[in-house]
């Protein structure tokens, strides 16, 4: 009997621990794989979630315990959104872009379903907060150490070395991750029902998270961090907030100030000896602040114990909240009058809309914190709006903003793959239908979290609500959707919040046929990401071989990629260039034409077709002109089109084609 009870408890604990462990593992994996931006990492995450859902379906005692109509309010529109994304490849003629976007949506759908399959409970919400806070802290600590101890923890400097982006590579995404970590850690350290060790460690993590946020110099992430923290303080009604803030805030502030004053860490050469010395000094300061916050938090836990004995009536609590709100409103009003807020808002809006992009290099990096410039976002949004007007119902097709930007941009030196706004990009690429489906999903998640964040013990739910709200705000001005490392937690939290609550009821084991059908359905969903992952592995090998000039090996790997998933134009492009190098002109033109057919609005494949035609001594002018029309700002396309237009001599075409530079392969 005792052995049976022990086995039952062990099974129950393993079941409850599985979701947080999976979430931590996936978030850290995606974060270490450049945020999960590229197709191979996204596909791998989708396969892992599908496998986890299949295992739960096959072995779980009650694998459908959380499923219900409420969960379906988000799962159904998200599934339809995924189907719409996939179908958009039909009218965009770019099925590979649609498949990449479909895999990303599938990650979020599977996360919603997996975490929603567990019955909703306060303990599971607390476990989710711990998992997300742990993953954010691990990634941000790695980022912080890579900047302050570059001689110990080496990391690639990235696109803008003056701004901390490792390991996600994109500084704004890392900043958002740090912001979410701050909100979650504030909840953990102030939650009276949380364990003592967790509360102490959460307080110690806050100086590191805040310093990492500062070193990204991400203004949007800082803004949503402030809003998220303020919202949590207002909504949580947690007595532990007083001691939690007393432990973390006084030591987080000097850590952030010290990071700002380490000016050499915000330059294009943060690894020079003087910068390394500054980094070592900053590392010591921040680690001392973290240790001090932990000690103070441990001491103040005794005060929390005393606070529990103080009884406060509901009327008294309402009176205190009303007084606090009144004082806050009065302070905001006075500050607005003193600072001439209307004039300042008008001036800052003008700078945001018309100001030039803020420099992110050298000494100008720190100055960007005082600027309201939108860094070119207004132009991104303008192109997205124009794309929406062209096809308001169905959109241009998933993943096509890049081609729209190449054709419509005013600054030829500006490259963009995304519109820096989830909502505008969705409208541009997927029309009204896609936008409404996405809004339905996000509203359902927000309402589910708000509904759960009620009652006397709501701290974990409030933390998740504030974190998801911060993510939704930030997604309006950046491409967080394309970074699953910072977005997967949103759908995990949404799934749990929308799950049915069946605690205390007798588990209902589903029949075997239901398990089999659901498992087969999930396995079928995983076919596309599995093929994508295998194809991307072979394609990565082909790119490396091509850059090394090993054309036979590049052709072999490209053919392997095609055999796994024949949708991407890139393997055909590589084969086309290699065949031209090896003298197979007819095959080169056939392969490059296949690349053009798979992504006809992408300038690089028409450019490649012009090159292989020129190498074969055939007229390349039409293909070169098309490449230039698709990307008027490309210096490569302009130079090739102008050169081949000057002559009708096949030998001159061949000479120009052989000298034309091949566009760099994507990594």
CB 511 within 8 A of CB 82: no
Task: Using alpha carbons only, give the angle 397, 399, 401 rounded to the nearest 5 degrees.
Answer: 90
Asked if residue 327 has pLDDT above 70, the reply is no
**Co-location of 579 and 499 in the same domain:** no
Range of the domain at 277: 124-309
Q: Is the pLDDT of residue 187 over 80?
A: yes
Q: Does 513 lie in the same domain as 482?
A: yes
Q: Which of 7-11, 222-226, 250-254 has the lowest mean pLDDT?
A: 7-11
Neighbours of 8 (CB within 10 A): 11
How far apart, in whole angstroms, are the C-alpha atoms of residue 592 and residue 611? 10
In a domain, 356, yes or no: no
As a whole number, mean pLDDT of residues 248-273 equals 93
Kindly state the percentage of the chain with pLDDT values over 70.
86
DSSP 291-358: HHHHHHHHHHHHHHHHHTT----HHHHHHHHHHHHHHHHHHHHHHHHHTTHHHHHHHHHHHHHHSPPP
Q: Are 615 and 588 in contact (CB under 8 A)?
A: yes
Q: Are 359 and 368 in contact (CB under 8 A)?
A: yes
Tell me whether residue 341 is in a domain: no
pLDDT at 44 over 90: yes
Do residues 40 and 85 share a domain? yes
pLDDT at 237 over 90: no
φ/ψ bin of 431: left (φ > 0), alpha (ψ from -120 to 50), beta (otherwise):
left
Confidence of residue 13 (pLDDT cuts 50, 70, 90): low
**Confidence grade of residue 311 (pLDDT, cut at 50, 70, 90):** low
Please name the helix (run of DSSP H) or strand (run of DSSP E) that holds residue 135, with its range, or none. Answer: helix 122-148
Kindly report which listed range (31-40, 280-289, 346-355, 393-402) carries the lowest average pLDDT score: 346-355
pLDDT at residue 503 greater than cutoff 60: no
Say if 604 falls within a structural domain: yes
Residue 560: Cβ within 10 Å count: 17
Q: Is the pLDDT of residue 287 over 60?
A: yes
Domain boundary among 309, 338, 368: 309
This model's pTM is above 0.95: no
Rounded to an integer, what is the distance from CA 13 to the centroid of its chain?
A: 30
Q: Is 16 exposed, middle or buried (0-12, 13-18, 19+ CB in 10 A)?
A: middle
Q: What is the DSSP letter of 565?
A: -
Whether 335 is in a domain gets the answer: no
In the DSSP assignment, the letter for residue 660 is: S
Residue 494: what pLDDT? 97
Same-domain pairing of 201 and 151: yes
Token readout for 247 is: 């432990």
- 147: pLDDT confidence band, cut at 50, 70 and 90? very high
Q: What was the pLDDT predicted at 655?
A: 95
In Å, how far are 16, 106, 120, 122, 422 from 499, measured between CA atoms?
15, 19, 5, 12, 26
Torsion of CA 644, 648, 650, 653, to 10 degrees: -10
The answer for residues whose C-beta is within 8 angstroms of residue 41's C-beta and 6 or more apart is 29, 30, 33, 34, 484
**pLDDT tier at 131, thresholds 50, 70, 90:** very high
The Cα–Cα gap between 407 and 284 comes to 50
Whether 341 shows a pLDDT value over 60: the answer reads no
Residue 611, pLDDT > 70, answer yes
Looking at the structure of the chain, the number of domains it has is: 3
What is the average per-residue pLDDT within 36-65?
93
Whether 212 shows a pLDDT value over 50: the answer reads: yes
Domain assignment present for 381? no
In this prediction, residue 1 has a pLDDT band, given cuts at 50, 70 and 90, of very low
- Residues 511, 565, single domain; the answer is no
For residues 491-517, average pLDDT: 79
**Domain annotation covers residue 175:** yes
Residue 344 clears pLDDT 50, i.e. is over it: no
In this structure, the answer to whether residues 112 and 151 fall within a common structural domain is: no
What counts of helices (H) and strands (E) characterise the chain? 27, 0
What sign has the CA pseudo-torsion 20, 22, 27, 32?
A: positive
Q: How many CA atoms lie within 13 A of 366 on its CB side?
A: 13
* Backbone angle region of 158, left / alpha / beta, with phi > 0 → left and psi within -120 to 50 → alpha: left
508 and 559 part of one domain: no
Looking at residue 2, its pLDDT comes to 56
pLDDT at position 254 is 96
Rounded distance between C-alpha atoms, residue 404 and residue 388, angstroms = 11
The answer to which of 77-91, 373-387, 644-658 has the lowest mean pLDDT is 373-387
**CB neighbours (10 Å) of residue 87?**
17
Q: Tell me, yes or no, whether 65 and 150 share the same domain.
A: no
Mean pLDDT of 194-211: 96
Which residue, 309, 329, 360, sits at the end of a domain?
309
Please tell me whether residues 146 and 251 are part of one structural domain: yes
Is 383 part of a structural domain of the chain? Answer: no
Question: Rounded to an integer, what distance in angstroms lies between the CA atom of residue 570 and that of residue 462?
Answer: 45
Specify whether 604 is located in the same domain as 568. yes
* 446: its two tokens: 């927000």
- Statement to judge: residues 156 and 202 lie in one domain: yes
What pLDDT does 10 receive? Answer: 46
Average pLDDT in the chain: 89
Helix, strand and coil content of the chain, in percent to the nearest 5, comes to: 75, 0, 25
Contacts of 544 (CB under 8 A, 6+ apart): none
Give the CA-trace dihedral at 400, 403, 408, 414, to 10 degrees. 110
Asked whether residue 367 carries a pLDDT value surpassing 90, the answer given is no
Q: At what angle do helices 484-498 and 422-452 cross, to 10 degrees?
A: 40
Whether residues 543 and 510 share a domain: the answer is: no
User: Would 112 be classed as within a structural domain?
Assistant: yes
Q: Which of 429, 522, 431 is nearest to 481 (CA)?
A: 429
CA distance 46 to 106: 6
Whichever domain contains 534, its CATH number is 1.25.40.10
Domain limit, last residue, from 266, 293, 309: 309
pLDDT digits (tens, 9 = 90+) for 436-487: 999 999 999 999 999 999 877 889 999 999 999 999 999 999 999 999 999 9
CB 262 within 8 Å of CB 286:
no
**Residue 142 burial class via C-beta count within 10 angstroms: exposed 0-12, middle 13-18, buried 19 and up:** middle
Q: What letter does residue 164 receive in the DSSP assignment?
A: -
Which residue carries 């959460």 as its tokens?
202
User: Which structure tokens are listed for 535?
Assistant: 């194809």
Q: If you average pLDDT over residues 267-281, what whole number do you get? A: 93
Structure confidence at residue 303 (pLDDT): 81
Identify the pLDDT of residue 424.
97
The answer to which of 250-254, 496-500, 504-508 has the lowest mean pLDDT is 504-508
């Amino acid at each position: 009997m005792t052995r049976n009870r022990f086995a039952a408890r062990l099974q129950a604990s393993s079941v409850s621990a599985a979701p947080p462990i999976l979430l931590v593992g996936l978030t850290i994996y995606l974060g270490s794989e450049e945020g999960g931006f590229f197709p191979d990492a996204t596909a791998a995450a989708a396969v892992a979630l599908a496998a986890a859902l299949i295992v739960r379906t096959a072995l779980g005692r009650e694998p459908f315990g959380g499923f219900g109509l409420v969960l379906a309010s988000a799962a159904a529109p998200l599934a339809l959104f995924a189907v719409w994304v996939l179908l958009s490849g039909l009218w965009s003629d770019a099925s590979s872009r649609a498949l990449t976007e479909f895999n990303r949506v599938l990650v979020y759908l599977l996360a919603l379903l997996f975490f929603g399959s567990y019955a909703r409970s306060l303990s599971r919400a607390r476990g989710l907060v711990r998992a997300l806070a742990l993953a954010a802290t691990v990634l941000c600590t790695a980022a912080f150490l890579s900047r302050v101890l570059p001689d110990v923890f080496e990391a690639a400097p990235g696109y803008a070395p003056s701004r901390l982006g490792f390991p996600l590579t994109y500084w704004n995404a890392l900043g958002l991750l740090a912001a979410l970590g701050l909100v979650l850690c504030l909840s953990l350290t102030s939650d009276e029902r949380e364990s003592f060790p967790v509360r102490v460690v959460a307080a110690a993590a806050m100086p590191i998270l805040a310093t990492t946020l500062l070193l990204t110099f991400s203004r949007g992430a800082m803004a949503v961090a402030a809003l998220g923290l303020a919202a949590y303080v207002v909504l949580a009604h947690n007595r532990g907030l007083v001691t939690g803030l007393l432990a973390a805030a006084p030591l987080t502030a000097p850590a952030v100030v010290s990071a700002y004053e380490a000016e050499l860490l915000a330059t294009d050469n943060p690894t020079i000896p003087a910068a390394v010395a500054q980094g070592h000094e900053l590392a010591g300061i921040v680690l001392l602040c973290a240790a001090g916050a932990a000690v103070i938090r441990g001491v103040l836990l005794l005060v929390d114990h005393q606070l529990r004995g103080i009884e406060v009536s509901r009327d008294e609590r309402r009176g205190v909240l009303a007084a606090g709100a009144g004082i806050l409103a009065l302070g905001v009003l006075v500050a607005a009058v003193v600072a001439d807020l209307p004039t300042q808002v008008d001036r800052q809006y003008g700078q945001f809309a018309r100001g030039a992009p803020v420099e992110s290099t050298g000494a100008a990096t720190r100055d960007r914190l005082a600027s309201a410039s939108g860094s070119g976002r207004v132009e991104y949004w303008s192109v997205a709006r124009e794309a929406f007007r062209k096809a308001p119902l169905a959109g241009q097709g998933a993943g096509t903003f890049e081609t729209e930007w190449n054709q419509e941009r005013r600054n030829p030196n500006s490259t963009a793959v995304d519109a820096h706004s989830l909502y505008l990009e969705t409208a541009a690429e997927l029309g009204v239908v896609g936008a409404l489906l996405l809004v339905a999903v996000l509203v359902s998640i927000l309402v589910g979290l708000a509904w759960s964040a009620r009652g006397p013990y709501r701290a974990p739910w409030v933390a998740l609500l504030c974190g998801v709200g911060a993510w939704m705000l930030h997604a309006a001005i950046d491409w967080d959707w394309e970074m699953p490392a910072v977005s997967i937690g949103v759908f995990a939290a949404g799934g749990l919040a929308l799950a049915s609550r069946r605690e205390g009821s007798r588990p209902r084991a589903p029949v075997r046929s239901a398990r089999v059908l659901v498992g087969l359905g999930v396995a079928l969903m995983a076919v596309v990401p599995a093929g994508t992952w295998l194809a991307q592995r072979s394609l990565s090998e082909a790119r490396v071989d091509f850059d090394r000039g090993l054309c036979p090996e590049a052709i072999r790997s490209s053919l392997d990629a095609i055999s796994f998933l024949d949708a991407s134009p890139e393997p055909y492009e590589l084969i086309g260039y290699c065949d031209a190098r090896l003298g197979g002109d007819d095959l080169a033109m056939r392969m490059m034409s296949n690349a053009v057919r798979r992504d006809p609005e992408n300038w690089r494949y028409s450019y490649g077709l012009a090159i292989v035609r020129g190498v074969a001594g055939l007229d390349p002018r039409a293909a070169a002109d098309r490449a230039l029309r698709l990307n008027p700002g490309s210096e490569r396309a302009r130079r090739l089109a102008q050169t081949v237009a000057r002559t009708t001599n096949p030998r001159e075409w061949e000479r120009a084609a052989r000298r034309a530079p091949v566009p760099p392969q994507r990594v």
